[in-house]
Structure 1
């Protein structure tokens, strides 16, 4: 039997006379030197990988060795959960081993210039990992741009792959494909740029048997014609009979690594499944002589005679040696077969891939233009495919600022008061009519005061027959205050005004307006308290003015001049608007960016792009560029609605306002990136965003002055992202301050520092959160 029929690569000159077994041992059992690593597509030595810690860690790879010859199809076989996917993730550089080493295409994965992750490999993960909103053609264009292919080459390869994989029209959306078609589309992406190393994680699941054979024929063809190396995983053992080399993986250990024909011949088995069963039994017997395998199964399995005494299980010592031998690959151990002394041909010394000479500018290069082009094109295409979602995202802040401006900060109107006015007759009370005399008249002054409450403060008055009835209205919640006027209120008030310090006590008491209020609502009760007093001052001044008396006589002897900043009668809207505007922009930016990144992660696109050579910095920058356009639109609409339509107070420079709001939105975007990289699901991201929303709103001086908080909380607020920007924006809007004031530029410095912190955290999470 010749080597080509068994799928072996051509023999080196020194091995021309060797038999098949010797050829195999020469190729994959030679010492792990730099030269041999360069001759192999993948070389894994003593690989250990575990998850968790403590006393019971989950060991996924346990001292695994693996050798993949260049230009061969390598079938990695094993049951689900045996470590195949983890091993492949380590090979492509997306996970790190706890110990051991991996060489891929002559270099270490992730090293500068190795191309891994990058364009030298094509990767098809277990999940589909494609955008459902893209057509098949657009999907291939995107990954072709990542691989720096020209549009004409992408078009040619697209037509070829769609025909090869029996796919429908290229304009069909991925989400409308069947499950099997989506798997084939994922395979097409891996095959698109004709990589040196093709890694396929269970590519034929759910694929028609005829098409499955067509895929295998194509894999054989590309390994023969273009010397592509293929690693294919499956738990269908007999499917890999066409592979050049197969590796049998079980429990994190490689049981064997040989050609299918050699394994069947060596273990005297009719099928690879029988070989796998025998090796599994031998592994269990080697781990522990009194294994948990059912005795009848052990007796039915015929273990081939092996010359190596290390595999003789006649005593405990030999059993321990078996375990050690199985730590290496059974079939690749030279001690387990006829000794071969042939060594690999001498190779000139080569520098490690990490030290491959590259230009100074290459080492400084963090981002590549074609990667950014592909990512930005993809992001904008996704937005165009989700117009409804984007309109909602852009319009939501406008709706929120409209609700704020209409609902928050206005003085309450229509507040009901119950009045017991003993100056009124019974008929007046029944008719709910209190006559008002204009001018310098000293009659029914109580009615004149109440008239000013109704006209100026929009209060609703209900005249009651007696005091208890008025109080009962408040008790029953039908009024906010009860006002009581004494029978001779007008005359007592006039006498009190004229007599001054000589007024009698009875006169003073009869001229008092008795008020009992419902103080359960602080905002309403405080505003009503203010309005009742301010209205009385206005009422006295109006009467004095109409009687040609200086109105100041009826006021408190304090003179409040024009305010230096703000207005005499400030409103809550102007106080809260800066914080509300910043909060809306900040948290909507958090929502859109965290959502966009999590969609990519959960659909597998992020992982696939990183394996294709995209860096975390490139992904971050592309998201910043595309999401910035959305955030800028949101900010523009919020500011236009706030200051043009609702005319909120704006004394300072509008461009400072715009700059601070954009920086705030950028900070929110970066915080969203951190959340999306730190958590795994949209639900967790929502919880994190909600959990951070309330502390920021409550502690950043948005709805209550920081000076009113406990001293400890005042210290904490200094380190929150919206505290200083809120103070800065409030000073710009209401005081007209510019960047020469510390309060203003502290806000810009604070928000800029948080942007940098969040960006660095995002890059670190993308880079190191691999498992």
Structure 2
């Protein structure tokens, strides 16, 4: 009985009009209870052939039968527990220990912990595995390959596929591994396919397949191959056969390969494939049991979308990957708090210590303005007399906003402004107090000179518009307060009808806090969204590039199972992050949540979950971290600018307003703002519509991820 049969196997990469042929109508037969040594130079198609056998790739033509069924067929167990696969790369989770790695694969295959422990002890002694608690990334290359080999052997598979397992191992250990394989195939029906660059060690194989340029040149026992070519070594026979084949076997037009298959015709004598005579009498007496009626039933019992053993293994792996990396813990727990701290400390605060020049011609010495005995207002029965009131206004600016720098003349102040030593300067004329008093007493009948000299002259640097705008408003506010205080000292109450001065309310400080409150919900939501995006994309791309994803698929875990396991573990993390964020801004920055905290945490958790799916979607269609970062960054800035975070949506063109309403967190940001500031409940339309939009994007991203994963697998 054959463990593996390949008939007319044809595989190419690229377009059918100009294909790169990897397998050229190859035929192969691997009997049960045998070791099949697949030999050939790098690039001849060995790894591609093994990928087709385990179900990772599909042939373009021909068929593969593994253990009596096609890979992927219902009940075939391939991919699954009937095969053990050690790929050419290490394909292990670097953050796991040696013991955790063995247990991870054992649980995926449905083994109980007791059986894993028993088999682990045997493999540990045989392969001289590193200490159980040593991290895989701390192991040497040879040690990692031993752990990888043990992971493929942990469940006693019917078919063991080893892609160059002895690379980097010392000769003594290579000898022990081959002895173990020979003994294992002698006492059971397990078949082994092994590729190796050490051609001479393949003498211990029952059958050798010599492969070159996608063609299986010969398939026979080592002794018959050496006898046929009268050589003393397998390597010498392989060289002779390769010379007979030549380098120009593939001569047909690649565009016509579907109509006219490229079947090699070897010059000279060809060694025919013969049936391997298996003398193992225990094949049918000791079959390997792969049903669910043994001690491992609990670990193989389905639970929702997977089995108990698999969900335990996958969830453990996900959390170990995160918590074994200090950067991962900092990124998950501390980075949101650092970002929020930066926002609340840097955005919306009143600028202070702005350098402003002052030229006061009312006093000869500016220190006289700070004389406590100076009286600026003297009130009589019907009149009010002002004296050097400019000093009073200068004192009004001593609240920390302005850093006052005094100059003797306007020319000196102007030169300082041109050198950017100051932002601008104020100028009080020599008769400022008298002119202001005349304006107060005579109103609109005051002289033109009174209006000219009785006003505050301000010159500001307009190149920094934000600072100059802020300072101008601050000076206006201070001047209005200054006038109001003068009127009160003269016996005129604030805000009475007919007052010669309109009194503005001091609103500048409240505008700052209102802007912070307006922006904060959007900042929090975009932060949790893109943190989840980056973290998920990084994890998935690392698994794919390291080979862990493909190796887990070969072990029988479906892409959907791995997807759901990641979603569940990430959902737990995101829920904790959302709770952490809400508690932090409330306790540290005294942000009052007028709504239900559970509603706000729920909305943030959905946002993070949506961001996680977006990161997964990026990782499905991006093959590298660099490409994923480009896509995430490219999506970040348009969303930040257009979602209404920095400026109200009403300031956009109408068409753009309608478009951005469909963005992932435009409406959800408004909902979060309504919860946080207005205290609205989830029953209000302008709150639950944010949940609806976020749920819609979750469905869209999830569907796109499932489609992408199915296409990729």
**Structure 1 residue 407, shift from structure 2 partner:** 1.6
Pick the aligned partner of 1:124 from 62, 68, 86.
86
**Structure 1 residue 71, shift from structure 2 partner:** 2.4
Unaligned regions of 5+ residues in structure 1, if any? 1-38, 290-319, 338-361
- Residue of structure 1 in register with 2:114 after alignment: 152
Query: Would you say 1:401 and 2:363 are equivalent positions?
Result: no
Pick the aligned partner of 1:375 from 291, 302, 314.
314
State the alpha-carbon separation in 2 of the partners of residues 169 and 413 from structure 1: 60
Query: Would you say 1:520 and 2:482 are equivalent positions?
Result: no
What secondary structure does 2:405 align onto? strand
Kept after mapping to 2: 8 A contact 1:108/1:114: yes
Query: Would you say 1:112 and 2:74 are equivalent positions?
Result: yes
Query: Would you say 1:89 and 2:51 are equivalent positions?
Result: yes
**Structure 1 residue 84, shift from structure 2 partner:** 0.9
**Structure 1 residue 560, shift from structure 2 partner:** 9.0
Kept after mapping to 1: 8 A contact 2:528/2:608: yes
**Structure 1 residue 189, shift from structure 2 partner:** 0.9
Kept after mapping to 2: 8 A contact 1:200/1:232: yes
Kept after mapping to 2: 8 A contact 1:130/1:605: yes
Listed one character per residue, the Cα deviations across residues 347-379 of structure 1 (whole Å, up to 9, x for unaligned) are xxxxxxxxxxxxxxx999742222111111223
Kept after mapping to 2: 8 A contact 1:93/1:116: yes
State the alpha-carbon separation in 2 of the partners of residues 765 and 615 from structure 1: 13
State the alpha-carbon separation in 1 of the partners of residues 463 and 215 from structure 2: 72
State the alpha-carbon separation in 2 of the partners of residues 684 and 661 from structure 1: 27
State the alpha-carbon separation in 2 of the partners of residues 595 and 519 from structure 1: 45
Kept after mapping to 2: 8 A contact 1:541/1:554: no
Number of aligned positions between the proteins: 672
State the alpha-carbon separation in 1 of the partners of residues 655 and 195 from structure 2: 58
Query: Would you say 1:454 and 2:398 are equivalent positions?
Result: yes
State the alpha-carbon separation in 2 of the partners of residues 428 and 178 from structure 1: 76
Query: Would you say 1:761 and 2:699 are equivalent positions?
Result: no
Q: Where does 1:269-668 land on structure 2 (aligned, <5 Å)? A: 269-284=231-246, 287=249, 324-325=264-265, 331=271, 366-386=305-325, 389-391=328-330, 393-424=332-363, 426-428=364-366, 437=376, 440=379, 441-455=385-399, 458-552=401-495, 553-554=498-499, 570-668=513-611
State the alpha-carbon separation in 2 of the partners of residues 599 and 322 from structure 1: 38
What secondary structure does 2:202 align onto? helix
Q: CA 1:261–1:179 in structure 2 vs 1: closer, same or farther (change >3 Å)?
A: same
- Shifted more, 219-228 versus 389-398: the winner is 389-398
Q: CA 1:719–1:82 in structure 2 vs 1: closer, same or farther (change >3 Å)?
A: farther
**Structure 1 residue 397, shift from structure 2 partner:** 1.5
**Structure 1 residue 410, shift from structure 2 partner:** 0.1
**Structure 1 residue 227, shift from structure 2 partner:** 0.1
What secondary structure does 1:602 align onto? helix
Q: CA 1:674–1:91 in structure 2 vs 1: closer, same or farther (change >3 Å)?
A: same
Query: Would you say 1:163 and 2:125 are equivalent positions?
Result: yes
**Structure 1 residue 197, shift from structure 2 partner:** 0.9
State the alpha-carbon separation in 2 of the partners of residues 64 and 124 from structure 1: 22
Listed one character per residue, the Cα deviations across residues 719-750 of structure 1 (whole Å, up to 9, x for unaligned) are 43232222222222223333344432332222
- Residue of structure 2 in register with 1:206 after alignment: 168
State the alpha-carbon separation in 2 of the partners of residues 464 and 551 from structure 1: 34
**Structure 1 residue 159, shift from structure 2 partner:** 0.9
Unaligned regions of 5+ residues in structure 2, if any? 252-259, 276-300, 380-384
**Structure 1 residue 537, shift from structure 2 partner:** 2.1
**Structure 1 residue 611, shift from structure 2 partner:** 1.0
State the alpha-carbon separation in 1 of the partners of residues 231 and 86 from structure 2: 32
**Structure 1 residue 252, shift from structure 2 partner:** 1.4
State the alpha-carbon separation in 2 of the partners of residues 733 and 322 from structure 1: 70
Q: CA 1:332–1:443 in structure 2 vs 1: closer, same or farther (change >3 Å)?
A: farther
- Residue of structure 2 in register with 1:235 after alignment: 197
- Residue of structure 1 in register with 2:287 after alignment: none
**Structure 1 residue 277, shift from structure 2 partner:** 2.8
State the alpha-carbon separation in 2 of the partners of residues 374 and 243 from structure 1: 34
- Shifted more, 259-268 versus 196-205: the winner is 259-268
State the alpha-carbon separation in 1 of the partners of residues 9 and 654 from structure 2: 55
The TM-score, its normalising length taken from structure 2, stands at: 0.86
**Structure 1 residue 122, shift from structure 2 partner:** 0.3
- Residue of structure 2 in register with 1:260 after alignment: 222
Q: CA 1:633–1:546 in structure 2 vs 1: closer, same or farther (change >3 Å)?
A: same
Kept after mapping to 2: 8 A contact 1:453/1:459: yes
Listed one character per residue, the Cα deviations across residues 142-172 of structure 1 (whole Å, up to 9, x for unaligned) are 1111111111111111111111223344344
State the alpha-carbon separation in 2 of the partners of residues 256 and 711 from structure 1: 73
Kept after mapping to 2: 8 A contact 1:367/1:617: no
What secondary structure does 1:375 align onto? helix
State the alpha-carbon separation in 2 of the partners of residues 69 and 409 from structure 1: 75
**Structure 1 residue 646, shift from structure 2 partner:** 0.6
**Structure 1 residue 436, shift from structure 2 partner:** 5.9
Kept after mapping to 2: 8 A contact 1:436/1:447: no
Kept after mapping to 2: 8 A contact 1:429/1:465: no
**Structure 1 residue 266, shift from structure 2 partner:** 4.1
State the alpha-carbon separation in 1 of the partners of residues 261 and 640 from structure 2: 66
- Residue of structure 2 in register with 1:734 after alignment: 677
State the alpha-carbon separation in 2 of the partners of residues 100 and 526 from structure 1: 76
Q: CA 1:421–1:86 in structure 2 vs 1: closer, same or farther (change >3 Å)?
A: same
- Residue of structure 1 in register with 2:645 after alignment: 702
